Chains A and B, each alone.
Chain A
Amino acid sequence: MSKENPEATTKVPDDLLAKEHEELIPIADDALVAAYECLRDQDDAESQGPMGGDLNSHEPPGPADQDPPASPGRTYPNIRRLHGTPFEREKDRRETRAWAERCGGEMQEWYEVARTKPCTWWLENHLVARHSLDGCIACGVCTSLCPAAEYYEEYDPRVIIDTALSNDEARLVDLLKSETLWYCGQCGSCKPKCPRENNLMGLISSLRFLAQLKGYHLCSVRGRQQYAARHLWGGNLWNRACSLYFRNVDAESHADFGPRYAQYQSEVEPQMTRVGANPDTAGQFGGRKVPPETLEELRRCVAGGGTLALWNRLEEQALEEARRLGISIEEYFERVRSEG
């Protein structure tokens, strides 16, 4: 992260995508963002084909020859080069900080203030936490149905409810610093059977948000992963309007999916196109490139809900941690993503 630096240059190198993270730092915020957007929206205007973006022609494709299908409408070849890069992350850091400063908003302020209050205050006032919990009879139904409680020996979600109900600030802080807060897989198996109609899944979600705002997530391996999460899903959402990008799930980091998956991934674009999806092209289905107007509206909604308060906090804390460890922010990103 770099503050607006009076010495920042507005000159953007031609081989921007090849630059290391350190080389991006001197570039001014606006110039960096503009360069990104320009690259993102560059289309490959030469490829026009029969499978244009007309949504309403739905006859199943006829018998195909084994050549890859004709190119669909406009493709955007730079998205694959931009996604998940240090460039994109650096641009995101700058951009969301600028957005937060510019847009502010009621919820962003609320979260920034909430961060300074006790955990017990949060439980009474956070929209989700407020509706999550009534009394608990400690019957254990939630834990008995929880797959994570089965898998992680030391994990007992019923104890989380007990901690929340105890109204004990010290216990709550311990919980927010713990590994166990992050074991829940948000499946909701606990939810349909609670005899008091509590929402344990929602409570955990709410507590995780608070843990990050307060920086307690840094005390656990799983918690630190949230910095990676901010860029993985947050980055996809901010830049591609979708939490997952089809190239994120590459074969190399998904060896557990087996060799057939690797084969599929090696020809993922024609495979997606043949079934009617839109890899890096305009369209309605998988892999689609959305127009800037859609991204703009989405970002305004995300910002309007106060999420940037969280993302910027995560960045601040990550930078502090990186400095403390004597590594770059990008090295920190890689580290927290593969720890554990």
Chain B
Amino acid sequence: MAKKVCVIGGGVTGMQVANVLSTLGVPSVLVEKSPELGGHVPRLSRTFPFFNDDGFNDGREFTAALERDLRSTSLAKIHLNTVVTEVTGEFPNFRVQLSDRSSIDAGAVVVATGFEPFDPSSLKEYGYGVYPNVITALQLEWMLNPRGPTGGKLVRPSDGKEARRLGIVFCVGSRNRRIGAPFCSRICCSYSTKQASSVMEREPGAFVACFYMDVRTYDRGFEEMYALAQDRGVKYIRGRVSMCKQLPDGTIAVRAENTLINKPFWGEFDLVSLSTGMRPCKDVEQLAGTLGIGRGPDGFFLCREWFRHPHDATRDGVFIAGCANGMKPIRNCMIDGASVAARVTALLREVPMAA
């Protein structure tokens, strides 16, 4: 009987790891702290149409498909509402204790704990948490989802009226040495452009402006997505937003410099969405301690060899996949999950069977 792999985190990456391990005949145990599988993806409303139009129109469709595959194999066991409390032993004989009192004898551990969006309440200049019409990108995403609170309509939380002017603020909580987050969160320019483009697609009369410093839509097809957004009428203004203030009727005034024409200005919007950067999950520090693995200066887990074995954590037998290893788009998480599964499988095959 092949040794089991313990996969921590039941988002799309964790599910992919477990699914690919199953196809390779390796049993796995998937441990997820929340009541549901899928991570952040179920609340996403849309991906953009791409070369092959299998971009989903509701994140839940995608994660449901992954979950179906997972549950159809006997090789993967799933624990929901569960966390890892202790890990003892050495590769390839780990003993993993779970919070539901069960334990796993695992040959390897894969960490796929993903990320958390940065909470912009601490950046007081944006008024998040004070002004009702300032929301986060994730909240915007959920608002755009037909299953969401407004049935997919763009609405001003302050008075429920339709929101026709949307301002999207890039780099909230990222690229900011002052707050101890000098890094770039990689996916925000892309998801913001996707959101802006979606809004214009449904509401061609809307006014959508993206306030950027750079547009880092670098991945395959993303630059084309950016061009499409502009064709649809999304305005891109090069200037980092320094402040949001509320006008008497709840409209949000946004302050920035249009750096391409050297002019500071105020823009007025019904709704302002803060494209927040990402952070590793809050419990990552504890998990790092439990697993005995290191983290980088940006807080995400560290890999031992940057190029040759980019999934190996700093302890034998522990691997990192997906956004836990650094932010990446969904497709790259899927690629990552598959390659980690291959790496783990190959390593376990070299190990003589335990008596």
Contact = CB atoms under 8 A, between A and B. Distances in A.
State yes or no: do A and B touch (Cβ within 8 Å).
yes
Interface of A: 137-141, 143-146, 149-150, 156, 158-159, 193-197
Given A150-B264, A195-B175, A139 B240 contact: yes
Would you list the 6 A-B pairs with minimal beta carbon distance, nearest first? A140-B257, A139-B240, A140-B239, A144-B257, A143-B257, A195-B176
A145 B177 contact: no
A145 B262 contact: no
Given A146-B264, A193-B242, A141 B175 contact: no
Nearest to A146: B264
B177 A195 contact: yes
A143 B240 CA distance: 10
B74 to A, nearest CB: 51
Given A146-B264, A195-B176, 13 more contacts: A138-B213, A139-B259, A140-B259, A141-B241, A143-B259, A143-B264, A144-B241, A144-B242, A144-B264, A150-B264, A156-B262, A158-B262, A195-B177
B256 interface: yes
B161 to A, nearest CB: 28
B178 A194 contact: yes
A311 B258 CA distance: 39
B240 A141 contact: yes
A169 B129 CA distance: 47
Contact of B259 (A138, A145, A197): A138
A138 B239 CA distance: 8
B255 interface: yes
Contact of B238 (A140, A194, A196): A140
B125 interface: yes
Contacts of B262: 143, 156, 158-159
5 contacts: A144-B241, A144-B265, A145-B243, A193-B242, A195-B175
Given A144-B239, A144-B242, A139 B213 contact: yes
Interface string B69-97: 00000000000000000000000000000
A160 B240 CA distance: 18
A156 B262 CA distance: 6
A193 B126 CA distance: 12
A164 B175 CA distance: 22
B146 to A, nearest CB: 36
A119 to B, nearest CB: 23
B243 A139 contact: no
B265 to A, nearest CB: 8
B259 A158 contact: yes
B257 A197 contact: no
A138 B242 CA distance: 13
Nearest to B175: A195
Contacts of A196: 177-178
Contacts of B239: 139-140, 144
Contact of A195 (B178, B256, B259, B265): B178
B242 A141 contact: yes
Contacts of B176: 195
Given A144-B255, A144-B256, A197 B264 contact: no
A114 to B, nearest CB: 30
Contacts of B258: 140
A137 B257 contact: no
A305 B258 CA distance: 41
Given A137-B213, A141-B257, A197 B177 contact: yes
Contacts of A143: 257, 259, 262, 264
Contacts of A138: 213, 259
A149 B257 contact: yes
A145 B255 contact: yes
Nearest to B261: A156
B303 to A, nearest CB: 27
B257 A158 contact: yes
Contacts of A140: 238-240, 242, 256-259, 264
Interface string B247-272: 00000000111110010110000000
B277 to A, nearest CB: 12
